Amino acid sequence: MRIVTLLSLIIMATTFVKAQGKNYPETVVSVDIESTLSPKETFEYIVPIPLEHIFQPYKNIPGIDSTSNKEPWYRSGMRRTVYFDDGTSSEETLLSVTPHTGFTYKVNGFTNSLKGLIKQINGSWTFTETEVGKIHIRWTYQFVPKNFFARLLIHTIVKKRMKTPMTNALTKMKDELESGNLYRYERSVGNW
């Protein structure tokens, strides 16, 4: 058994050394939902929503305790630190905001176990009107691995675990929007 463990560690270390400077295929997780509201209402509610309101702990994925931003999250170039309820954190940068149709951001600077696996996560949201008068919302995380071994772990473990909290968060926002029982922001909403 010790020989198998030692061989596994050697293979992992060799893979890591060879991986330096190489790019590996990303792992993508997407969740979708439809709503009866307009793109404007949906977009303006979702973009600046406080993360601690929608991200609860799930299995070994911590919930979000708070963020460092003091103003609404709605303008390209904005940065914030995300604090998880296990004491770890990550950094987010809002890359683009196209009113009522979508926004993109990146997450990096992890202080938890993801720091050894992921270079960054590219996040994107799209809001598209359907032919039947509804809005289709798609939220995508693209995990950029640090090496081949990391890609394997992300693809087999992280991908499966992330889909549930993402679906729960999206469903919560949809339910609040459609019921009219909106979460009241302590920060003012952006001016689109």
Count CB-CB contacts under 10 A for residue 7.
10
Q: Which of 15-19, 41-45, 55-59, 91-95 has the highest mean pLDDT?
A: 91-95
pLDDT, position 155 = 86
Q: What is the pLDDT of residues 99-156, one digit of tens each?
A: 999 999 999 999 998 899 999 999 999 999 988 888 999 999 999 999 988 899 888 8
What integer pLDDT is reported at residue 110 of this predicted model?
96
- Can you give the pLDDT at residue 19? 44
- Answer whether 129's CB lies under 8 Å from 39's CB: yes
Query: 60-94 burial string, b = 16+ CB within 10 Å, else e?
Result: ebbebbebebeebbbeeebebebbbeeebbbbbbb
Which residue matches tokens 């061989």? 7
Compute the distance between CA of residue 123 and CA of residue 104 in angstroms, rounded to an integer. 6
162: left (phi over 0), alpha (psi -120 to 50) or beta: alpha
25 pLDDT more than 60: yes
Retrieve residue 80's tokens: 């914030």
Looking at residue 5, what is its pLDDT?
A: 43
pTM score of the predicted model: 0.81
What pLDDT, on the 0 to 100 scale, is given for residue 131? 83
